[in-house]
Amino acid sequence: MIVGAGIAGLAAALRLHRAGWEPIVVERAPARRSSGYMVNLVGWGYDAAEGLGILPALTGRDLGVFTTVMVRADGRPKFTVPPEIAEAAVGKRALTVFRGDLESALYEAVRDTVEIRFGTTVADVEQSTAEVRVGLSDGTTERAALLIGADGLHSGVRAAVFGPETGFRVDLQHVVGAFPLGGVPEGVAEGSGTTFIGPGRTAAIISLGPDRSSAFFTYRTGDAGAELERGPGRALAAAFGDLGGGVPHALRRLAADPAAAYFDSVSQIAMDRWSDGRVVLLGDAAWCVTLFAGYGAALALSGADRLGAALERHGSDVPAALAGWEEGLRPEVRKRQALARTGMHRFAPPSRAHVFMSEMTIRAILVPGVRGLVQRGIRRANR
Ligand SMILES: Cc1cc2nc3c(=O)[nH]c(=O)nc-3n(C[C@H](O)[C@H](O)[C@H](O)COP(=O)(O)OP(=O)(O)OC[C@H]3O[C@@H](n4cnc5c(N)ncnc54)[C@H](O)[C@@H]3O)c2cc1C
């Protein structure tokens, strides 16, 4: 039984089915959603996509690399980072796709072989050494050898089996809003993205053509809960309404369709154990590293792939498989969570001096000698 038809849940369904299991997936949303924000798949994420057999489906949806124009508050350019720089930094084994396209590729790979029940969630969980009994919101009960909670940052399975979210959530004091733009954004040349970085905030508008353009905002706040209560339209307009360039167009799009936005606090999940008997958490539900790591989807895919492999290796000894799986994953998750905590200052520098330093770092990448050093650093981190 897998809870959540997101990246982790669908990848687990695909991999476990291949390992001879008969997964059932329940998803709270009434139907599949599409689009969303842009996700880079590098390192373990690219390797897992290859292992899961979804690379061919993703390659056709790859948004590729594009020119980044660093801009002032009024939208005027400061300097440009050509696409070759990004390409050289991440290497050939990298993809940029919409989150919805990644989910679609996984969904297409399982839809004919795995039962997926939309509009359904878990009501209660009970387990013995032999099985897990899962009561569902539609009134039915399923008996399973394993329950996988792949239901994201605000996991219901985690709350039901391990305890309330507040016991595990580490707030990084930022809010993120990201959404597709539908049409082409005004004021941003097609094939490029503009990025404004100011004290405590970043706004990026990516213009890659109709249905391929998107906006991304993040800002520091002492009270993420209050920001979330205001909703994305009001909160992002208050935090970014003074900016020019492509931002006003993006905020107007958001006002017209606030439900299309991903809007949440930036929080990590820290747990001593990801499994309890025959219940295991996977992806953001277990270890959310946040967007600041740029690696959450990668870990969701790779975690699912490795979980399938561990279950294959250990046969019917589920607890042993879960223990071995967790031991293999922990160091990478720890590393990515730490990188996110240090990396968040790049997105929301604490002061003007930090903004200046951050720009100097980006400019330095344009210098051939320094570029080599940075490339080697990025590739080492993603190995
Ligand atoms: C703006 C942004 C940019 C990002 N960029 C990158 C990037 O460049 N590279 C990268 O690797 N990662 C990136 N990430 C992180 C990545 O998107 C997440 O780590 C990844 O989506 C986690 O997948 P998941 O399946 O664990 O959780 P989710 O994607 O949150 O999916 C959980 C699923 O469970 C469902 N669900 C929730 N509660 C219940 C319930 N009670 N019952 C049933 N179903 C439920 C949800 O509807 C959803 O379908 C980014 C994140 C953000 C926000």
> Which CATH number covers residue 317?
3.50.50.60
- Are both 254 and 121 inside the same structural domain? no
- pLDDT reported for residue 363: 75
Dihedral sign from CA coordinates of 355, 357, 359, 365: negative
- pLDDT reported for residue 364: 72
Across 309-338, average pLDDT: 95
Least confident of 313-327, 330-344, 346-360: 346-360
With cut-offs at 50, 70 and 90, classify the pLDDT of residue 370.
low
Best of 217, 284, 335, 382 to mutate for ligand 1, by most ligand atoms within 8 A of CB?
284
Distance 152 CA to ligand 1 centre (A): 5
* Number of domains the chain contains: 2
- pLDDT reported for residue 321: 96
Least confident of 306-310, 315-319, 335-339: 315-319
- Are both 165 and 208 inside the same structural domain? no
With cut-offs at 50, 70 and 90, classify the pLDDT of residue 356.
confident
Is residue 122 in some structural domain?
yes
- Are both 120 and 38 inside the same structural domain? yes
- Are both 24 and 119 inside the same structural domain? yes
Is residue 73 in some structural domain?
no
Distance 297 CA to ligand 1 centre (A): 7
Going along the chain, which residue ranges are E strands? 2-3, 24-27, 38-41, 67-71, 77-81, 95-98, 115-118, 122-127, 132-136, 141-144, 147-149, 169-180, 192-198, 201-207, 214-220, 262-269, 275-276, 279-281
- Are both 207 and 157 inside the same structural domain? no
- What residue numbers bound the domain in which 220 lies? 171-266+349-381
Least confident of 35-39, 99-103, 175-179, 215-219: 35-39
Across 90-95, average pLDDT: 86
For residue 149 and ligand 1, the question of a CB distance below 6 A is answered with no
- Are both 292 and 315 inside the same structural domain? yes
Residues 202-257 have pLDDT tens digits of: 999 999 988 889 999 999 999 999 999 999 999 999 999 999 999 999 999 999 99
